[in-house]
Amino acid sequence: MRTLITGGAGFIGSHLAHALLKAGHDVFVLDDLSTGSMDNIEPLKSHLRFDYSIDTITNEAAVSEQVDRCDVVYHLAAAVGVRLIIEAPVRTIETNVAGTELVLRHAAAKRKLAVIASTSEVYGKSTAVPFKETADLVLGATHQHRWAYACSKAIDEFLALAYWKEQGLPVIVLRLFNTVGPGQTGRYGMVIPNFVRQALAHEPITVFGPGTQSRCFGYVGDVVRGMMDLAAEPHAVGGVFNLGNDREITILALAELVRTLTNSESKIVTIPYDEAYESGFEDMPRRVPDLTKVSNLVGYKPRVQLPEILSLVIDHHRGKHTKAV
Ligand code: UDP
């Protein structure tokens, strides 16, 4: 298969590119390097079935040309990271809505399978854990930019499903839960790379809010395998799927685990949300995926659990660059 990955120089995109090449597919990456990095695709550049172009997802000529060349589009290009979203709300909304609209329009014109990466953020403040794909989305007020991100990704989902219904465009919508592993940058606020960096430097580990909030961390290799399995499954078309890991840990327990695994002397400090993000910031107390749907359809089961993920991330930060699982 000829595959296009928008956002392919990003953390998840580059892991996907690697896995697709390994499975024998041709891979073309379109990325504007806004949050992605050449370092992520450097090891792939020598591969004969790999090519890339540095361009933005809102450049219609580039999108049209690349969609034309492929059989499947994995659309991952998006504004990501809670910190970036709060600092650049216009870019977040424009990239997520206009970019996805272009990809879908061109995929529809050329009848290409479009795999759209959405996010668990769309569940918003819902407390109905574990989150099922059919559950209500509970978003907050419009002056909190976090919800603009959730809303922009929800619009992407609506649009993808509308193209499927109205024009028969084959689409698959994936709600990615917290996805982690070696190569993820802490620059946009993601918790694991930040905690690991702080612990290795013996700096205070900064827990935002009470620390009782919990997340489920999915290994990027598991998530990428789930994406590829769904793309290869005809019955996935027209569906929305949670993807990630369903084992839950509080952020305080995560900080303690990172400190133990790194033998760090770091203190663990708590910082109020208002100080860490912006005034009135709202966090979700729990975020747990219901993985029944993807498990029933393609037998998806997370294989790599948090302690092993953290060891890989710690080795990566120490520069050992152990080969990912
Ligand atoms: N967090 C933290 N310290 C950090 C970065 C994040 O305590 O240095 C918290 C954040 O407030 C949230 C959780 O860790 O409760 C996960 O944050 P992340 O940005 O990784 O993902 P989110 O689930 O918020 O999208």
Concatenated DSSP letters for 119-179? EGGGGBT---SSBPTTSPPB---TTSHHHHHHHHHHHHHHHHHHHHHHH---EEEEEE-SE
Model pLDDT for residues 115-168, shown as the tens digit of each residue: 999 999 999 999 999 999 999 999 999 988 889 999 999 999 999 999 999 999
* Mean pLDDT of the 281-295 span: 96
Distance 216 CA to ligand 1 centre (A): 11
Residue 325 predicted with pLDDT over 60: no
CB of 215 within 6 A of ligand 1: the answer is yes
Contact at 8 Å (CB) between 19 and 230?
A: no
CA distances from 311 to 66, 173, 251 (A): 37, 31, 17
Distance 296 CA to ligand 1 centre (A): 30
Nearest-5° Cα angle at 116, 179 to 18: 55
Model pLDDT for residues 51-99, shown as the tens digit of each residue: 999 999 999 999 999 999 999 999 999 888 777 888 888 988 998 999 9
Residue nearest to atom 20 of ligand 1 (CA): 190
Residue nearest to atom 23 of ligand 1 (CA): 178
Residues 6 or more apart whose Cβ sits within 8 Å of residue 201 = 266
CB of 189 within 6 A of ligand 1: the answer is yes
Atom in ligand 1 nearest the alpha carbon of residue 255:
7
Residue nearest to atom 3 of ligand 1 (CA): 207
Residue nearest to atom 14 of ligand 1 (CA): 191
Return the bridge partners of 179, or none: 218
b/e code 202-239 from CB counts within 10 Å (16+ = b): eeebbbbbebebbbbbbbbbbbbbbbbebbeeeebbeb
CB of 207 within 6 A of ligand 1: the answer is yes
CB of 218 within 6 A of ligand 1: the answer is no
Residue 321: pLDDT band (50, 70, 90) is: low
* Mean pLDDT of the 172-180 span: 98
Model pLDDT for residues 216-243, shown as the tens digit of each residue: 999 999 999 999 999 999 999 999 999 9
Predicted TM-score (pTM) of the model is 0.96
- For residue 35 the two structure tokens come to 């949050």
CB of 178 within 6 A of ligand 1: the answer is yes
Which of the following is catalytic: 123, 149, 277, 300?
149
Q: How far apart are CA 6 and CA 56, in angstroms?
A: 9
Distance of CA 112 to the CA centre of its chain: 22
CB of 224 within 6 A of ligand 1: the answer is no
Contact at 8 Å (CB) between 266 and 198?
A: yes
Q: How far apart are CA 99 and CA 263, in angstroms?
A: 44
CB of 78 within 6 A of ligand 1: the answer is no
Residue 205: pLDDT band (50, 70, 90) is: very high
Nearest-5° Cα angle at 283, 195 to 190: 30
Q: How far apart are CA 241 and CA 300, in angstroms?
A: 11
Sign of the CA dihedral 79, 163, 244, 49? Answer: negative
Residue 52 known to be catalytic = no
Helix (H) or strand (E) holding 16: helix 11-22
- Top mutation candidate among 191, 277, 287, 313 for ligand 1, by most atoms within 8 Å of CB: 191
Residue nearest to atom 16 of ligand 1 (CA): 191
Contact at 8 Å (CB) between 277 and 83?
A: yes
* Mean pLDDT of the 1-9 span: 97
Residue 323 predicted with pLDDT over 70: no
Distance 269 CA to ligand 1 centre (A): 14
Residue 279: pLDDT band (50, 70, 90) is: confident
- For residue 323 the two structure tokens come to 């080969």
CATH topology of domain 2-180+217-246+284-303: Rossmann fold (3.40.50)
CB of 198 within 6 A of ligand 1: the answer is no
- Taking the alpha carbons at both ends of the chain, their separation in whole angstroms is 24
Q: How far apart are CA 325 and CA 178, in angstroms?
A: 18
Distance 255 CA to ligand 1 centre (A): 11
* Average pLDDT score over the chain: 95
- Top mutation candidate among 122, 251, 256 for ligand 1, by most atoms within 8 Å of CB: 251
